[in-house]
């Protein structure tokens, strides 16, 4: 398999919050990998920016350390020439989003307007407005510059609208890249290729043939050091409103006329707007308990430091997409922390065959299309075949692996991580895999009444065992409709 690296134009990428956690874990290592792949033109520069005073060399050391920690495999066993060459592209400016410090210096660095300018807001969302305003007042918010903003994009509809309005004062929608890194995952794009590049699936992709759809994002970690932040947010705001809804959109949307930013995002928006309001009995919320059997993790309330916290670390939702394609097919979403295994998977469960010619003994066999995002990204289709050997017509379900590793070469094609792809899309000016402002607002419009209902009723999440699959209410959501969750497998 030949790796095809599409060259990009010379660019300057400024990372506000360059010294922070996200920059160290994802942005700098991602850029390094793209550099090694030959995608960064010789003139490209990466400029870290944060309040801390430090000479350029110190920031280069910070970047090198981050790359060694989070992209060690990319450095390889060589003499480190690649890393040294990458560090040569790295600059640093001490800047304050809320003051004048550093802005003249940045303005000077960005004076060559023939280069692509991208500004990554890897800082707290409360600084997004300040940064946008400063970029404009220092002449950096020109027609072609781009800004990248991270989640959380608001905490409800009102704050998301305010944030959109603030950014819109300085930048056009076509210049704003709202990241949801799930959209940058290889398998998520493969899902679109499988759906819209084959004749096989689309005719069956509706409530006549699909019994139900499950989307699971399970984490084994707890809230860790983010307790204070997480407790103000919870699984609904932190995961469902963005990542799970984006996955649901890609599964449920109509085929866009073309794979272009607005064609795709228009179709996703229609899905969100078609979501039914969710009644309380279609939701299960939970909080994890303390670790067991030598695992000394604290329980959720201890971890967040509030013995009366009503925030959920787990949520399962049954929802419906009310349109012609999906009326009658439930979508079950669940996500939680401290679960038994780390696994993100979308499962499309097809209906039973209308009549079994093999008799009742053959049992029920359903085709299941499983799109696995992590770990072990890949797509499998469960098909029913005859169990080999003598003994009559015994049926068995086997997975048809569509990960294409064999067809595409020993390494299954080049592995590109979500952040690498998304940052390069920003430089290329391709917004297809980024959320549009109206999508984000529509997602909050669906989420808000659910959260408001919990607050009004004083709902308290049910405890669940650490290392389990969540509270029993979650199983009941499916059981009472004769269904069950897929096993959460590592
Ligand atoms: P972080 O570790 O707290 O880093 C914050 C960065 O902002 C630091 O570099 C800090 O450096 C800089 N900063 C703070 N105040 C500033 C100011 N007034 N002017 C200029 N720079 C300032 O945060 P993070 O975890 O990297 O998160 C960054 C953003 O990404 C947040 O919006 C977060 O919600 C989002 N996000 C993070 C993750 C993740 O995995 N970390 C995942 C998804 C989304 P100084 O203190 O030196 O200024």
Domain CATH code at residue 117: 3.40.50.720
Contacts with 168 (C-beta within 8 Å, 6 or more apart), sequence order: 437
Q: Which two tokens stand for residue 90?
A: 């790295």
49 within a domain of the structure (yes/no)? yes
Which of 27-31, 330-334, 414-418 has the lowest average pLDDT? 414-418
Q: What per-residue confidence (pLDDT) applies to 410?
A: 53
Residue 185: CA count within 13 A, CB half-sphere: 22
Active-site pick, 212, 243, 297, 355: 243
Indicate if 389 and 448 belong to the same structural domain. yes
Residue 37 belongs to what domain range?
11-150
**Judgement on whether residues 340 and 428 belong to the same structural domain of the protein:** yes
Q: What is the dihedral of CA 357, 359, 364, 370, to 10 degrees?
A: -30
Of 66-80, 200-214, 289-303, the least confident: 66-80
The candidate with the shortest Cα–Cα distance to 157, out of 401, 372, 449, 383, is: 449
**The ligand 1 atom nearest the CA atom of 16:** 21
User: Ligand 1: does its nearest atom lie under 6 Å from the Cβ of 21?
Assistant: yes
Pocket perturbation via mutation, ligand 1, pick of 120, 121, 122 by most ligand atoms within 8 A of CB: 122
From edge to edge, which strands make up the β-sheet containing 45-50?
90-94, 45-50, 11-16, 116-121, 146-149, 176-178
Decide whether any atom of ligand 1 lies within 6 Å of the 129 Cβ: no
Asked, as a colleague might, if the bond just before 375 is cis with ω within 30 of 0, I would say: yes
Query: Residue 161 falls within a domain, yes or no?
Result: no
Q: How many CA atoms lie within 13 A of 339 on its CB side?
A: 25
Find residue 342's DSSP bridge partners. Answer: none
Task: With beta carbons less than 8 A apart as the criterion, state whether 147 and 119 touch.
Answer: yes
| Peptide bond before residue 152 is cis, with ω within 30 degrees of 0 | yes
pLDDT grade, residue 212 (50/70/90)? very high
97 lines ligand 1 (CB under 6 A): yes
Pair (221, 137) in one structural domain: no
Distance CA 322, CA 278 (A): 12
- CATH number for the domain including 442? 3.30.360.10
146 in helix, strand or coil? strand
Residues 453 and 305 in one domain: yes
Separation CA 412–CA 410 (nearest Å): 6
pLDDT at position 219? 96
The answer to whether residue 357 sits within a structural domain is yes
Domain membership of residue 165 (yes or no) is: no
Report the greatest alpha carbon distance in the chain.
Answer: 81
Say yes or no to pLDDT of 161 above 80: yes
- Omega before 369 cis (within 30°)? no
Tell me: pLDDT of 375 over 90: no
Residue 439: CB atoms within 10 Å? 24
Predicted confidence at residue 1, as pLDDT, reads 45
252 and 399 share a domain? yes
Give the closest residue to 98 by CA, choosing from 141, 131, 49. 131
Q: Quick one: which H or E segment has residue 464?
A: strand 462-464
Flag whether pLDDT at 81 surpasses 50.
Answer: yes
SS3 285: strand
My answer on whether 233 and 146 are in the same domain is no
| Ligand 1 pocket check for 167: Cβ under 6 Å | no
Q: Enter the DSSP assignment of 140.
A: -
91 is catalytic: no
| Nearest atom (ligand 1) to Cα of 52 | 47
* Interatomic CA distance for residues 148 and 119, integer angstroms: 6
**374 and 318 inside one domain:** yes
Residues 240 and 300 in one domain: yes
What 3-state DSSP class applies to 293? coil
Counting residues of the chain whose pLDDT is more than 90, the rounded percentage is: 80
State how many domains the chain has: 2
d(CA 210, CA 330): 9
The answer to whether residue 169 sits within a structural domain is no
At which of 150, 169, 203 does a domain end? 150
Report the candidate in 211, 216, 215, 134 with the shortest Cα–Cα distance to residue 169.
134
How many other C-beta atoms can be found within 10 angstroms of the C-beta atom of residue 75? Answer: 17
H-only helix segments in 211-260: 227-231, 234-235, 245-252
- What percentage of residues in the chain have a pLDDT greater than 70? 96
For ligand 1, atom 40, which residue shows the shortest CA distance?
Answer: 22
Any atom of ligand 1 within 6 Å of the Cβ of 22: yes
**Domain closes at, from 129, 150, 171:** 150
Nearest CA to ligand 1 atom 4: 20
pLDDT, one tens digit per residue, over 97-108 is 999 999 999 999
| pLDDT in the model for residue 7 | 75
Confidence at residue 429, expressed as pLDDT on a 0 to 100 scale = 95
If asked whether residues 94 and 237 sit together in one domain, one would say: no
Any ligand 1 atom below 6 A from CB of 127: yes
Once rounded to an integer, what is the mean pLDDT over residues 348-355?
93
Claim to verify: residue 103 and residue 145 sit in the same structural domain: yes
* CA-based R_g, the chain, Å: 24
Cα 299 to Cα 287: distance, rounded to the nearest angstrom = 8
Could you tell me the pLDDT band of residue 414, with boundaries at 50, 70 and 90?
low
Q: Which pLDDT value is given to residue 196?
A: 95
Task: From 16, 17, 150, give the residue whose CB has the most ligand 1 atoms within 8 Å, as the site to mutate.
Answer: 17
Residue 435 DSSP label = B
Place of tokens 């809230």: 223
Same domain, 373 and 463: yes
For residue 330, the surrounding DSSP H or E stretch is strand 330-336
Tell me: do 144 and 197 sit in the same domain.
Answer: no
Ligand 1: centre distance to CA 22 (Å): 7
Residues in the chain, total? 490
């Amino acid at each position: 398999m030949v790796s095809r690296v599409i060259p990009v134009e010379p660019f300057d990428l400024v990372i506000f919050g360059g010294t922070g956690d996200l920059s160290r874990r994802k942005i700098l290592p991602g850029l390094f990998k793209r550099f090694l792949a030959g995608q960064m033109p010789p003139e490209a520069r990466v400029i870290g920016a944060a309040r801390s005073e430090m000479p350029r060399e110190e920031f280069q050391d910070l970047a090198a350390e981050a790359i060694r920690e989070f992209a060690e495999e990319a450095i390889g066993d060589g003499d480190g020439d690649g890393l040294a060459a990458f560090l040569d592209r790295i600059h640093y400016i001490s800047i304050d989003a809320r003051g004048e410090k550093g802005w003249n210096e940045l303005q000077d660095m960005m004076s060559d307007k023939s280069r692509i300018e991208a500004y990554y807001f890897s800082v707290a969302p409360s600084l997004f407005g300040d940064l946008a305003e400063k970029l404009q007042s220092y002449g950096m918010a020109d027609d072609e510059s781009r800004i990248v903003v991270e989640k959380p994009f608001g905490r409800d509809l009102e704050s998301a609208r305010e944030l959109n309005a603030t950014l819109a004062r300085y930048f056009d929608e076509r210049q704003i890249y709202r990241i949801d890194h799930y959209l940058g995952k290889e398998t998520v794009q493969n899902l679109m290729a499988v759906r819209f590049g084959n004749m096989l699936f689309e005719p069956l992709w509706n409530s006549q043939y699909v019994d139900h759809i499950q989307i699971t994002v399970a984490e084994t970690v707890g809230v860790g050091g983010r307790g204070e932040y997480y407790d103000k947010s919870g699984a609904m705001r932190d995961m469902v409103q963005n990542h799970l809804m984006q996955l649901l959109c890609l599964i449920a949307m109509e085929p866009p006329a073309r794979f272009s930013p607005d064609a795709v995002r228009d179709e996703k928006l229609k899905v969100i707007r078609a979501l039914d309001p969710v009644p309380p009995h279609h939701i299960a919320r939970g909080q994890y308990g303390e670790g067991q059997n030598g695992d000394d993790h604290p329980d959720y309330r201890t971890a967040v430091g509030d013995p009366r916290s009503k925030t959920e670390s787990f949520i399962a939702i049954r929802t419906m997409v009310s349109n012609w394609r999906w009326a009658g097919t439930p979508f079950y979403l669940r996500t939680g922390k401290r679960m038994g295994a780390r696994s993100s998977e979308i499962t499309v469960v097809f209906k039973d065959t209308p009549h079994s010619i093999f008799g009742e003994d053959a049992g029920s066999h359903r085709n299941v299309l499983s799109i696995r995002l992590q770990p072990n990204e890949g797509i499998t289709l469960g098909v029913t075949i005859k169990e080999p050997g003598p003994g009559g017509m015994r049926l068995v379900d086997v997975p048809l692996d569509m990960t294409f590793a064999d067809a595409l070469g020993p390494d299954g094609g080049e592995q590109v991580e979500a952040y690498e792809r998304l940052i390069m899309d920003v430089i290329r000016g391709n917004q297809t895999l980024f959320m549009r402002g109206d999508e984000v607002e529509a997602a909050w419009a669906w989420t808000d009444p659910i959260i408001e209902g919990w607050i009004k009723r004083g709902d308290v999440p049910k405890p669940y065992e650490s290392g389990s699959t969540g509270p029993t209410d979650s199983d009941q959501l499916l059981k009472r409709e004769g269904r069950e969750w897929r096993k959460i497998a590592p």
